Chains A and B, each alone.
Chain A
Amino acid sequence: MSEMWINMGPQHPMTHGLWNLRVRLDGELIKDVDPEVGYLHRGIEKISEDRHYNEVITLMDRCCYVAGFAWEHLYTIAAERALHITPPERAEYLRVLSDEFQRIASHLMWYAAFVQDIGLMSPFLYGMRDRDLILDLYQSYTGARMTYEYFRVGGVRSDLPPGFTDQARKVLDWLTPRFNEYDQLCLGSDIFHKRCDNLGVLKANDCVTHGVTGPMIRSAGLKRDLRKDRPYSVYRQLDFDVALADSADVTGRYLVRMEEMRQSVRILRQVVDWLDHHPGPVIAEELPRWLGAPYAPVGKEGYLLKRHYPKGVGFSAVEEPHGEAQAYVVNEGGEHPYRVKFRSPVFANISAARQYMVGYRVADIPPIMGSVDVCVGEVDR
């Protein structure tokens, strides 16, 4: 039988967003794949050039809709380096608190979508249910469930409400036994192993060659985690391990993400304890005019601002739930960033699709793509 191309997507339940996977098939066998992105392009990098430094943060939540805090953190670090601002320590801990809760929420969202891809229905509901508890926590201190707009250049928007840390501990206590339950539902079943073992294998050297990062590279046994390798924020003070697996397949990615959630709980317990005992300011004391509370007009464009503020560039790299995200902000002295550039981890991860998909069957595509954890919002930006 002759070969044929079929389109998985852009509107397809497997694709988790708006992108297209073109697959060349020989019967059931995958001969070639060609991921095609760009359906969700909103020009976020270009819009950022026309916005104040703080207003770009509203776009970051739309960048990745399941891990908004990670992208806010990424941008704020880069912008602070470009503007030569140091946030207070309590703000850093609040950011790590948000980041790690976001990692759990994002992985739970991945778990819910992934198990549905491999045909399990009820774990989807459990994953979504437990993610909702974290969103409730977010709502109590940021005011929103998905688009937080909580970080500011130079700190965070506000302090925690009273009683927050107790509720956060309750959520952590609730989540800890849940992870074992998820494992029972998946790893406890041989059907899961028959479906996922030795599937979508991407070895460590291939990961390095193609820029694949995050849980995918850790599932191949390579210990690469920016929180350890290039510590940002206060991760240096926190005690945690890097989750590793050695099978480099779909099961390995599952194991790594599950272990990462447990490690996040471990980090969060330390952060919550720290926050209980260290009150303080949450925003830097020295802020330029247009970063302070009201965002007022400043005369003519750039007038008298260059006298106040030195130019600079800022680079940051953050371990996002999906992988390593990077940002570069150029400050030319005006009130808007001159240029903002982002590096999306998922873009690299799905660009390497040919490496881990060719040779498998067409029914293997949903588990493999599910294990990559695609978030198209950040791929297209």
Chain B
Amino acid sequence: MANDVTATEKPEQNPVLWVVRPMATAARQFAKSLFRPSTIVYPYERLEDPKFRDRLEVASGKPLGVGAVWDNYRGVHALNIATCISCNLCAFSCPDICIEMVTVPGGDPKHPKKCPAIDYGKCSYCGFCSDACPEGCLTMTTRYELSTPKRAEMVYSPEKLYDVFRSKLPMNPIRLARPANEDAILLDPPLCIGCNACARDCPTQCITMLDIPKPESKPGEKLPRRIWKEPVVNDSDCVRCGTCISVCPKECLFWGTHK
């Protein structure tokens, strides 16, 4: 390349200048910092305060904001218990295995409602759980002060996460860009025994068991022992949580694309 950047020889300088010049630069910075400090007085001022929101600019020397920069911060989670469907996706997506699904009141006795409890001693704030949440009930807020005297207090129960939700902090509006064609739940019909386990445990109730015709038994051939029903998945309601796949005793459900 013609115009390679090459280091130049150092210029010969007056000994007075090589003392004065850096000092002048430092003095200029010092004078600037008197009028436009680059820092804030942290416990008394907070960057996420609304009063900083519109004034944040580069030229002021204050920290920079891009619109509502703090809204995107990934801090403590907020959980809306009312809309949680107990799909378990947050716990599955957690790389640090810090989410445990605990029972909360509100479910029926056969299918208890389970909501995430998060251990902030392990959490790495990666945001995978709020990305995975299909209902948008688990989001990340701007809260970041977590110090407690006891280790047990670092585990946030669903009720405590709901308190965060009620404090009306800005919710992280970042949503994961989703692929255009998602996989769907498919059925391998010969394996199915019609046991209803998938439809029973589906958190969105999008699986219906439909009757299928019972075939005529030929002489000398035994029909499989099964219930003559098959699950049909409503793809528009399905949140792709995979609960049906994991509860299926015969492994007849799998991920795939419709032909």
Contact = CB atoms under 8 A, between A and B. Distances in A.
Q: Do A and B bind each other?
A: yes
Nearest to B27: A122
Nearest to B18: A190
A143 B95 contact: no
Contact of B93 (A170, A185, A294): A294
A89 interface: no
A52 B126 CA distance: 14
Main secondary structure of the interface of B (DSSP, over half): loop
A154 B29 CA distance: 44
Interface residues of B, number: 68
B169 interface: no
A110 B232 CA distance: 59
Contacts of B182: 292-293
Contacts, number: 207
B116 to A, nearest CB: 14
B67 A162 contact: yes
B89 interface: yes
B92 A294 contact: yes
B179 interface: yes
B89 A296 contact: yes
Given A136-B63, A190-B15, A174 B58 contact: yes
Given A58-B124, A241-B1, A299-B251, A140 B6 contact: no
Q: Chain A: interface residue count, which band?
A: 35 or more
A303 B72 contact: no
A245 B128 contact: no
B22 interface: yes
Interface string B44-87: 00000000000001110001111101101110000000000000
A143 B127 contact: yes
Nearest to B75: A143
Interface of A: 51-52, 54-55, 58, 122, 126, 129, 132-133, 136-137, 139-144, 147, 149, 154-159, 161-164, 167, 170-171, 173-174, 181, 184-191, 193, 197, 223, 241-247, 251-252, 255-256, 259, 263, 281-287, 289, 292-300, 303-304, 308
Interface of B: 1, 3-7, 10, 13, 15, 17-19, 21-22, 25-26, 29, 38, 57-59, 63-67, 69-70, 72-74, 89, 92-93, 95-96, 124-128, 131-132, 134, 140, 172, 174-183, 239-242, 245-246, 248, 251, 253-256
Q: Which 3 A-B pairs have the closest CB atoms?
A: A296-B242, A140-B66, A245-B7
